[in-house]
Amino acid sequence: MLRLVVLGLVLACAVSLSSSAVILENGMPIHWAQTASQVTELPMQDGILYPDPWNYLHRMSLHRLMIAATDPFMGSMGTNATDSPLWGLTLQLGWILTSGRVADPTSATTCGLQTGEPLCISTQSWWGCVDYFTSALRFLSAAQQGFMGPGVQVQMQVPAGVQDYCTTYASCKDSYPDAMSAWDAFFQGLKTMSEASVSDDVKRDSILGLYWAGQMASTYASAACNARQSHYSSVEVSFANSWLNSAEFVSAARFQSNLAKSVLFLSPLPSRILLDGDSAPNIADLSQEENHTLYVFNWIKNINSLLGGSLVNLWKRAMCSVNTRQKGAELLEQLLLNPSFATSTFLSIITEMTTSC
């Protein structure tokens, strides 16, 4: 059974309001060393794997086990041990923890608080709920497809009285068939593509296409979490929706969310929950990088709204080939990471890219 190592972790979880959220610890995701490296380290009950996804160490263990199980099929991603796209959601979970977004937004419990249960993920957290759809559901699919070992069955733990989360492959398949089918297609396709007689560029692009289809299907299914947004400020809700919207752009470009690139994109995300009155790019206790990221997210959301949703559609049309998707990923890096990159340039380049499709 996974040992819940709490002593000594509180300080490491502490969030500095004057700098970006901490997402790495010794070059790996937060508390990586305390997570399970083998399936047998997670709880078992009546021969069924029984992890607790409302404990950060358990949920992070799901990511670690999925990365290890799929790495043998990820040779087309590169030569580094951290080139798998699965690192993106893994690091994202760390950011959700250190930025305080796993905490109970109703303040009814101390779940997720540094002065209470710092490694607890609240079932009332909108962020924790959305992440459940891209971690727990994906793990259930991976186990169903044999990546956790032959015949391994999984049931997710859920706190008493909480009934709106599916906990098994069958219940998730019944409630969210599109998401589970997309993840099944990813895990099946991963094995098929790794053996295909095509170039690594084609393999990589195909695998990333399946991966992002799974991630977006989970994101759409996470609309089930929407009622939980009522616990947050209007500014945090606006950011949350912009964050969801940004996935449309990233997924269309089939971004290779390996560890190195994910760090670049996640580090400048806001290191605390946003409050009414926060207005980027002039939030005093957030870094320049955090303010810039929030400004860009708002700009994309507003422009897309003004254009009646056509910015997303224009972007998706431009991402029509391996070549344009590679250019699109580079363009997103410039937009989010280079404060001197003009937003008007972004629009003109997208328009030009669509002419090659």
Q: Tell me what pLDDT residue 2 has.
A: 38
Q: Which residues, including other chains, have CB under 8 Å from residue 225's CB and lie 6 or more apart?
A: 126, 129, 130, 133
4 pLDDT more than 60? no
357 pLDDT more than 80? no
- Which of these, 292, 309, 303, 293, lies nearest to 347 by C-alpha position? 303
The last residue of one of the domains, among 209, 244, 269, is 209
Please tell me whether the peptide bond between 270 and the residue prior to it is cis, using omega within 30 degrees of 0.
no
Determine contact, residues 80/258, Cβ cutoff 8 Å. yes
Residue 184 and residue 116 share a domain: yes
Determine the residue type at 350.
Answer: I
Mean pLDDT of the chain: 91
Cα separation values, 175 from 63, 224, 292, Å: 22, 10, 38
> What counts of helices (H) and strands (E) characterise the chain?
13, 4
Residue 86 and residue 197 share a domain: yes
CA angle 12, 13, 19 (to 5 degrees): 95
For residues 3 and 224, give the distance between their C-alpha atoms in angstroms, rounded to a whole number.
31
Q: Read off the pLDDT of residues 123-158 as tens digits, 9 standing for 90 and up.
A: 999 999 999 999 999 999 999 999 999 999 999 999
Residue 194 and residue 136 share a domain: yes
Residue 260 and residue 158 share a domain: no
> What percent of the chain is modeled with pLDDT above 90?
76
DSSP state of 251: H
Terminal C-alpha separation, the chain: 53
Look at strands 48-49 and 24-25 and give their pairing: unpaired
Q: Which residues, including other chains, have CB under 8 Å from residue 338's CB and lie 6 or more apart?
A: none
- 278 in a structural domain: yes
Residue 182 and residue 138 share a domain: yes
Quick one: tokens of 139? 């793990």
- 251 in a structural domain: yes
Q: What are phi and psi of 235, to 5 degrees?
A: -70, -45
- 312 in a structural domain: yes
Residue 329 and residue 259 share a domain: yes
For residues 152 and 138, give the distance between their C-alpha atoms in angstroms, rounded to a whole number.
15
pTM for the full model?
0.91
For residues 63 and 84, give the distance between their C-alpha atoms in angstroms, rounded to a whole number.
12
Q: How confident is the model at residue 231 (pLDDT cuts 50, 70, 90)?
A: very high
The least confident of 48-52, 110-114, 309-313 is 309-313
Quick one: tokens of 36? 């399970």
Q: Tell me what pLDDT residue 1 has.
A: 39
Residue 152 and residue 243 share a domain: no
Determine contact, residues 152/191, Cβ cutoff 8 Å. no
Number of neighbours of residue 44 by Cβ within 10 angstroms = 12
Cα separation values, 177 from 113, 133, 140, 356, Å: 34, 12, 13, 35
- 311 in a structural domain: yes
355 pLDDT more than 80? no
Strands in the chain per DSSP E: 24-25, 28-29, 44-45, 48-49
Residue 247 and residue 157 share a domain: no
10 pLDDT more than 60? no
The last residue of one of the domains, among 159, 174, 209, is 209
- 182 in a structural domain: yes
Residue 171 and residue 116 share a domain: yes
DSSP 266-326: HTTS-SS---TT--TT--TTS-HHHHHHHHHHHHHHHHHHHTTTHHHHHHHHH--SHHHHH
Q: Tell me what pLDDT residue 14 has.
A: 31
- 19 in a structural domain: no
**Domains of the chain: total:** 2
Provide the domain limits for residue 321: 232-357
- 218 in a structural domain: no
Residue 294 and residue 263 share a domain: yes
Residue 271 and residue 158 share a domain: no
The last residue of one of the domains, among 176, 209, 242, is 209
Q: Tell me what pLDDT residue 22 has.
A: 84
Residue 192 and residue 76 share a domain: yes
- 112 in a structural domain: yes
